[in-house]
Amino acid sequence: MIIGYARVSSTSQSLDIQHEALTAAGCEKIFAEKVSGRSTSDREQLALAMSFAREHDVFAVTRLDRLARSVGDLHRIIETLTQKGVGFRCLNQPGVDTDSSMGRLLIGVLGAVAAFEVDIRRERQMEGVRKAQAAGKYRGRPASIDPTKIKELKAGGMGAAAIAKQMGIGRASVYRALAA
């Protein structure tokens, strides 16, 4: 059985193109979700697809970045599938499969490139933030804890637990503010 997995990052994006490609490739069962690919921990349909797969099945995706955005996640997924005796195929990237040594090498290389792209994007974003900060246009998130108020409440005789409860913060945050 060929099992398909499709993913887009946001709810405004469509899964139709991936679904059509997976169906055309002979996928009998397709798992799809609209969730960020940064981590595999909150991808319910991916977990279901991987647990659904049985020995001699093939797990298919349209592109490698639909499956994983980091080399570590990609290798963990491929290793899990391999241990179950499940093959892997990437439709839009011919030769990216677990059927051959070259295919496994390509998976590693393309996974590294995808991770590199994520790192480059993050670096550009941080560069933009630093530039905006220097121009006075970006101040970041406002502080959610007011150390002055915490110290005033403590001076008024309130305990750390009561201060934390009143301000809606953790007790450890109260202790950090008092130590500062």
Instruction: Give residue 21's Cα distance to chain centre.
Output: 23
In terms of DSSP bridges, do strands 58-61 and 29-34 run parallel, antiparallel, or are they unpaired?
unpaired
Residue 91 placed within a domain: yes
SS3 172: helix
Residues 146-158: pLDDT tens digits? Answer: 888 999 999 999 9
Chosen domain end from 117, 138, 155 = 117
Residue 18 placed within a domain: yes
Residues 67 and 153 in one domain: no
| Separation of alpha carbons 86 and 30, rounded Å | 15
Residues 42 and 96 in one domain: yes
Q: What is the pLDDT of residue 123?
A: 92
Question: In Å, how far are 49, 110, 125, 157 from 117, measured between CA atoms?
Answer: 26, 10, 12, 53
Residues 155 and 90 in one domain: no
Residue 86 placed within a domain: yes
> The domain that contains 75 carries what CATH number?
3.40.50.1390
Residues 49 and 89 in one domain: yes
Residue 129 placed within a domain: no
Mean pLDDT confidence for 12-22: 92
Q: How many domains does the chain have?
A: 2
DSSP assignments along 48-89, one per residue? HHHHH--TT-EEEESSGGGT-SSHHHHHHHHHHHHHTT-EEE
Residues 86-98: pLDDT tens digits? Answer: 999 989 877 777 7
User: pLDDT band at 81, cuts 50/70/90?
Assistant: very high
The residue annotated as part of the active site, out of 9, 36, 70, 144, is 9
Query: 1: Cβ–Cβ under 8 A, 6 or more apart, which residues?
Result: 28, 29, 54, 57, 58
Question: In Å, how far are 18, 91, 96 from 1, measured between CA atoms?
Answer: 18, 15, 18
Interior CA angle at 21 toward 20 and 24, to 5°? 85
Residues 21 and 82 in one domain: yes
Residue 98 placed within a domain: yes
* Residue 156 belongs to domain spanning: 147-179
Is 36 a known active-site residue? no
Chosen domain end from 99, 117, 135 = 117
Residues 89 and 152 in one domain: no
Residue 25 placed within a domain: yes
The rounded mean pLDDT for the chain is 87
Residue 87 placed within a domain: yes
| Separation of alpha carbons 23 and 3, rounded Å | 10
Is the CB of residue 2 less than 8 Å from the CB of residue 57? yes
Residue 43 placed within a domain: yes
SS3 129: helix
Residues 74 and 6 in one domain: yes
Residues 99 and 170 in one domain: no
